[in-house]
Chain A
Amino acid sequence: MDGKQAGKLIKILINQKQIDCEEGKTILEVCREAGIFIPTLCFDPRLEPYGGCRLCLVEVKGINRPLSSCTTPIQDGMEITTESENLTELRRTMLSLILSNHPNDCLRCEKAGDCSLQELAFIYDAAPARYEGERWDLPKREDNPFITFDPNKCILCGRCVNICKNVMLKGAIDMTGRGFHAKPDTAFGKPLSPENCLFCGQCVSTCPTGALVEKPSARTGRHLSVKKVKTTCSYCGTGCSFFLNVKHGKVTKVTSDYDSPVNKGNLCIKGRFGYEFIHHEDRIKTPLIKEGGKFREATWDEALDLIASRFGAIKEKYGPDAVGAFSSSRCTNEENYLVSKWVRTVLGSNNVDNCARV
């Protein structure tokens, strides 16, 4: 991003290795850039750091307690340790506490394989049974066509609430209740509606667990068994990139591309949920030729021969000014180029236009 002033370069030590970095960044940012792993649950680069999950704790020489790396800015000469026995035990404890009120039903969970909690519990060998106590048994919310909310899987990281309030400026959901009863919820527990919710699914895109998942793609394929094809959205000129999730030759879901320079994982309702048309039964599947006012199915050869001969004949009879083409802002650059080339080389006309003007 060339609009931002580059900060002063300073030197720090991370795990005894010297790293040159820009002043103003947090310890977590610098570590991520340097490829040093630090576990997080409440962190999303799209959000202001919250420092709530306490997993990103690191040790800093001269400070007698661990610091949350997502909220601590680097300072010249800082000596940072990201892994130690003490940090591992702290992280394992935090994770075990979360798991003590979590369904731990990874076998049946949509998010398995793509779940930060599952992944970190594995890395830190956190046991669900370490702490026993009361568990949530709240009803699953499926009261809109796009988003399923299972509050029992919520770890109270606040990311959904934060992204809705601070990135989308909507605030359709907020933290409600206190203590054991705290959970993100809609106003008065009512279903999300077009009056308060954009159905952009940003909350789903930031949820680190299976608490918020896409409803239309439920049970269509687990993360690791689904092919992910990085592509560019076909709605609007923003050009968000995302992953088409493909299983058995069908697009089953759209997931965020967090590294995209355009949208950084953000999407709107159309991009995230508007993919059903791809396999819709109304798709035109074969060429159609009109005969006696009605369309009949035709082979490609038949249709393309007809097109070639009719355009040829009309050009012959009326001249190249009487033929032309409209190209499409929905098609690719390569296709637009070929339409232009076809009209100019084959029809011999400049009667070719795109729909930018209409």
Chain B
Amino acid sequence: MAGLATSLGAGAASNSFDQISEADALLIFGSNTTEGHPVISIHVNKAIKNGARIIVADPRKIELVKWADVWLNLKPGSNIALLNGLVHVILKEGLYNRDFIEKRTEGFEDLKDAVEKYTPAHVHELTGVSPEKLVEAARIYAGAKNAMILYGLGVTEHQTGTENAMAVANLALVCGHIGRPATGIMALRGQNNVQGASDMGPAPAAFTGYQPVTDPKVREKFEKAWGVKLPSKPGLKSVEMLDEAKKGTFKGLFILGEDPAHTDPDISHIRQALASVEFLVVQDIFHTETTRFAHVVLPGASFAEKEGTFTNGERRVQRIRKAVEPVSGKAEWEVFCEIASRMGYQMKYNHPSEIMDEIASLAPIYGGISYARLDQGSIQWPCPTKDHPGTATLYQEMFSRPGGRARFIALEHKGSGEVPDADYPFVLITGRRREHYNNGSMTRRSKGIMEMFPEELLELSPADAAKLGIKHGEMVKVSSRRGEIKVKVRVFERSQEGNVFLAFHHQDVLTNLLTSPHRDPITGTPEYKSCAVRIEKL
């Protein structure tokens, strides 16, 4: 999200999901939309039925490839090279939007210089994508009247994740494919309230509404509202807190509804870090890999047991409503009020609507949002005032950067932090499956889902299976420099030769024992999408 924020202003999707079906061309980049976001893929299906041209950029032959005009089957970790290549072709063929670039952007000359060497031939060497396909994709995307890019974690979960997102923005900006209905960039968010959790500012450098902690004016506003002096120094990112814990310098941690010992990369490192914390509190609805490290476990309330709001991947703030009583008697918002009050800071709200009123008073993008309005219907931020209808399409007039212009950023191909070699010859890509969710603690407790989708399977290409003498259904050991797991094989043409795929939903196949310690230096986002592994038949 930092990438889009740097290029365009806001770390959020620029348009609404229902506009996807109105686009003439869709570039689906690093998103297995059909499985990761099944209902968004219904909008994609509608676009397909409406005759939209479809470009899929993904190392895996995902289901959408069946409907694609072009499949850009890039090697994992070569996103920037591919996107620079598309921009290169668009500039060479004169398909760019000169008017838009002049009126609404800055830094075009830097971009032009940077992409000069990304010729189709060079891009072929770096990405494995044929020059013909690159040119065809560039022509389809640039030639469309309304084009949208849908991207997923295949863009962001790389050590160059932030730059990958900037490269996506460069492509859209060169063509002027942003700032209109059915024309823009949709960053598809993973968990239900990732957008909201980002907006609300549990973030080391920003208060609620992306307002920097380093800005004295902002601090003053929050100090006045909260009645205490606030620290000006940005804090540690989650991954850094764990690093410091392992070193022994970070001592007390509260983990709310998260399972890093299952879902963070390089689990052995995480386990050591969690074991080193002097006092760890974990609040969750089920026992997880992480709760076992806790000194105190608090019961969480599920979404059905409390009032509140979630913000979805199109910036839409929606209510959740209490249907049944919390199993433990308390919702998390009540628990935090009680802890704060016990520590001498009075925190009291009679209802979550009062918390939203406080959020609205402090964060301009939520300024006009209240429960009374949300009960009439959901609202997309920015919604600065009580009479503002909310915003379906961002950037129609200007970009939310200083000066109002979007910024081109010159980028170079860097590749993945870990690449295959003789010892670890395969690239492991990780991701999601439609039927399961995250650490699986919820979906694995559905009888029907477990009956039909009981176990994790390693996806191995038919060519690699033949080479290794491994048959469908056989058990293998998958090992990386960090750990090993045992898993059954699915011989599946979805994987290209040299790549294998695993999801991370099952506790008996802890995929993240294998994943890479490399991270994006800006956001700290781990490189889940690419690490080197070895596969041995058992």
Let me know if A236 and B190 touch, CB within 8 A: yes
Cα separation A356 to B417 with both chains bound (whole Å)? 21
Interchain residue pairs with CB less than 8 A apart (28): A145-B452, A199-B448, A231-B321, A231-B323, A234-B192, A234-B442, A239-B192, A268-B39, A276-B447, A287-B328, A295-B297, A303-B296, A323-B250, A325-B202, A327-B197, A327-B256, A330-B191, A330-B257, A332-B333, A333-B310, A335-B332, A338-B340, A338-B355, A350-B233, A350-B235, A351-B204, A353-B202, A358-B265
Are B237 and A357 in contact (CB-based, < 8 A)?
yes
Could you give, for residues 267-286 of chain A, a 1 whenever the CB lies within 8 Å of some chain B CB and a 0 otherwise? Answer: 11111011111111011111
Q: Are B264 and A320 in contact (CB under 8 A)?
A: no
A31 within 8 A of B: no
Binding site for B on A (CB under 8 A): 1-4, 144-146, 166-169, 194, 198-200, 215-216, 227, 229-241, 244, 246, 249-251, 261-263, 266-271, 273-280, 282-290, 295, 298, 300, 303-308, 310-312, 314-315, 317-318, 320-346, 348-358
The smallest beta-carbon distance between B308 and chain A, in angstroms, is 3
Is there contact, CB below 8 Å, between A266 and B39? Answer: yes
Complex contact B340–A353 (CB within 8 A): no
- Out of B39, B48, B190, B308, which one reaches A335, CB within 8 Å? B308
Q: Check B231 against A231 for contact (C-beta < 8 Å).
A: no
Q: What are the residues of chain B within 8 A of A232 when measuring CB–CB?
A: 192, 303, 310, 312, 318-320
Please give the distance in Å from A214's CB to the nearest CB on chain B.
Answer: 10
In angstroms, Cα B296 to Cα A300, docked, is 11
Binary flags per residue of B320-344, CB closer than 8 Å to A gives 1, else 0: 1111110111111101111110111
Q: A325–B255 contact, CB under 8 A?
A: yes
Q: Do B67 and A169 touch (CB < 8 A)? A: yes
User: Given the interface contacts A231-B303, A278-B302, does A308 sit within 8 Å of B343 by beta carbon?
Assistant: yes
Q: B185-221 interface mask toward A, CB cutoff 8 Å, 1 = contact, 0 = none? A: 0001111111111111111110110000100000000
**Contact indicator A330/B355 (Cβ below 8 Å):** no
Instruction: Encode B435-474 as 1/0 by CB contact (under 8 A) with A.
Output: 1110001110111110111000000000000000000000
Pick the contact of B312: A238, A266, A318, A321 (CB < 8 A): A238
A328-B320 Cα distance, complex, nearest whole Å: 16
A285 to B329, CA, bound (A): 9
Interface pair B258/A277, CB less than 8 Å apart:
no
Complex Cα distance, B358 from A338, in Å, reads 10
Please judge, given known A-B contacts A270-B443, A333-B199, whether A290 and B295 are in contact too, CB under 8 Å: yes
Query: Distance in Å from the Cβ of B351 to the closest Cβ of chain A?
Result: 10
Q: Is B318 a contact partner of A355 (Cβ separation < 8 A)? A: no
CB < 8 Å: which of A244, A269, A350, A354 contacts B213?
A: A350
Closest to A229 in B: B323
In the complex, B313 has a CB within 8 A of chain A: yes
A283 CA to B208 CA, complexed, in Å: 31
Contacts A1-B18, A329-B193 hold; do A303 and B452 have CB atoms under 8 A apart?
no
The reply to whether A335 and B345 contact each other, CB–CB distance below 8 Å, is no
Write the nearest CB–CB distance from B54 to chain A, whole angstroms.
12
Of B105-113, B116-124, B523-531, which binds chain A? Answer: B523-531
Residues A333 and B193 in contact in the complex (CB < 8 Å), given A278-B324, A358-B260: yes
A277 x B446 contact (CB < 8 A): yes
CB-based contact A323/B230 at 8 Å: no
| B359 and A166 contact, CB distance less than 8 A | no
Which listed segment binds A: B77-85, B279-287, B494-502?
B279-287
- Taking a contact as CB atoms closer than 8 A, the residue among A251, A289, A328 that contacts B323 in the complex is A251
Task: Across the interface, name the chain A residue whose C-beta is closest to B265.
Answer: A358
Alpha-carbon distance between A275 and B441 when the two chains are bound, in angstroms: 12
Closest-CB distance, A281 to chain B (whole angstroms) = 9
Contact indicator A314/B252 (Cβ below 8 Å): yes
CB-nearest residue of chain A to B198: A356
Tell whether, in the assembled complex, residue A283 and residue B525 are in contact, meaning their CB atoms are under 8 Å apart: no
**Given A1-B19, A4-B22, A233-B192, CB of A352 within 8 Å of CB of B204:** yes
A55 to chain B, nearest CB (A): 26
Q: A304-B339, A326-B256 are in contact. List 12 more A-B contacts (CB 8 A).
A: A1-B18, A4-B22, A199-B448, A262-B314, A274-B446, A286-B328, A287-B297, A287-B328, A307-B298, A324-B252, A328-B258, A358-B263
Q: Please tell me if the beta carbons of B241 and A337 are within 8 angstroms of each other in the complex.
A: no
B235 touches A324 (CB 8 A): yes
Residue B226 at the chain A interface, CB threshold 8 Å = yes
Least CB distance, B412 to chain A, in whole angstroms: 23
Q: In the complex, how many angstroms separate the beta carbon of A35 from the nearest chain B beta carbon?
A: 18
Instruction: Report yes or no: B309 in contact with A334, Cβ–Cβ below 8 A.
Output: yes
Nearest neighbor of B37 in chain A, beta-carbon distance: A238
**Complexed CA–CA distance, A230 and B233 (Å):** 42
State whether B263 touches A312 (Cβ < 8 A): no
Partner of A145, one of B310, B322, B344, B447: B447
Q: Are A194 and B453 in contact (CB under 8 A)?
A: yes
Question: A279 to B260, alpha carbons, bound, how many Å?
Answer: 24
Q: Choose from B190, B284, B312, B321 the contact partner of A229 (Cβ within 8 Å).
A: B321
- Is B278 located at the chain interface by the 8 A CB criterion? yes
Which chain B residues lie closer than 8 Å to A250 at the CB level? 324
Q: Contacts A251-B323, A335-B332, A351-B204 hold; do A198 and B38 have CB atoms under 8 A apart? A: yes
Q: Is the CB of A268 within 8 A of B38?
A: yes
Q: Are B197 and A346 in contact (CB under 8 A)?
A: no
Contact residue among B235, B239, B304, B453 (Cβ-Cβ distance under 8 Å from A231):
B304
Given contacts A198-B434, A340-B208, contact A3 B182 (CB under 8 A): yes
Residues in B neighbouring A240, C-beta threshold 8 A? 39
Contacts of A311 in B (CB 8 A): 252, 254, 279, 339, 343
Given contacts A231-B321, A251-B304, A324-B236, contact A345 B228 (CB under 8 A): yes
Measured between C-beta atoms, what is the minimum distance from A203 to chain B in Å? 14
Closest to A337 in B: B200
User: Which chain A residues lie closer than 8 Å to B310 at the CB level?
Assistant: 232, 234, 239, 332-333
Residues of A within 8 A of B30 (CB): none
CB <8 Å contact, B322 and A229 = yes
B352 CB within 8 Å of chain A = yes
The answer for the CA separation of A4 and B20 in the assembled complex, in Å, is 11
Question: In the complex, are the beta carbons of A145 and B448 less than 8 A apart?
Answer: yes
Q: Per a CB cutoff under 8 Å, which of A166, A344, A357 touches B238?
A: A357
Which chain B positions have C-beta within 8 A of A200?
38
Known A-B contacts A232-B310, A239-B192, A335-B333; the reply to A322 vs B22 at CB < 8 A is no
| Complex contact A349–B193 (CB within 8 A) | no
Contacting pair B251 A323 (CB below 8 A): yes
Most A C-beta atoms less than 10 A away, residue of B252, B355, B393: B252
B393 touching A2, Cβ below 8 Å: yes
Q: How far is the CB of A326 from chain B (nearest CB, A)?
A: 5
Q: Which residue of the partner chain, among A249, A282, A290, A323, contacts B445 with CB atoms under 8 Å?
A: A282
Question: How distant is the Cα of A266 from the Cα of B39 in the complex, in angstroms?
Answer: 7
* A278 smallest CB distance to B (angstroms): 5
Shortest Cβ distance from residue A249 to the other chain B in the assembled complex, whole angstroms: 6
Q: Please, how many angstroms separate the alpha-carbon atoms of A355 and B191 in the complex?
A: 9
Does A331 lie within 8 Å of B279, measured CB to CB? no
What is the distance, in angstroms, from B410's C-beta to the closest C-beta of chain A? 24
> A290 near B452 (CB under 8 angstroms)?
no
- A249 adjacent to B446 (CB under 8 Å): no
Query: What residue in chain A is nearest B182 (Cβ atoms)?
Result: A3
Q: Is the CB of A236 within 8 A of B191?
A: yes
Residues of A within 8 A of B166 (CB): none
B325 touches A249 (CB 8 A): yes
**Cβ contacts under 8 Å, A344 to chain B:** 207, 222, 226, 230-231
Closest chain B CB from A101 CB (angstroms): 31
- Docked pose: A312 CA to B279 CA in angstroms: 11
For residue B419, CB closer than 8 A to chain A, the reply is: no
Q: Which residues of A contact B39 (CB under 8 A)?
A: 238, 240, 262-263, 266-268, 271
**Structural contact, A236 and B343, CB atoms closer than 8 A:** no
Q: Answer whether A236 and B435 are a contact pair too, CB < 8 Å, given A198-B38, A334-B356.
A: no
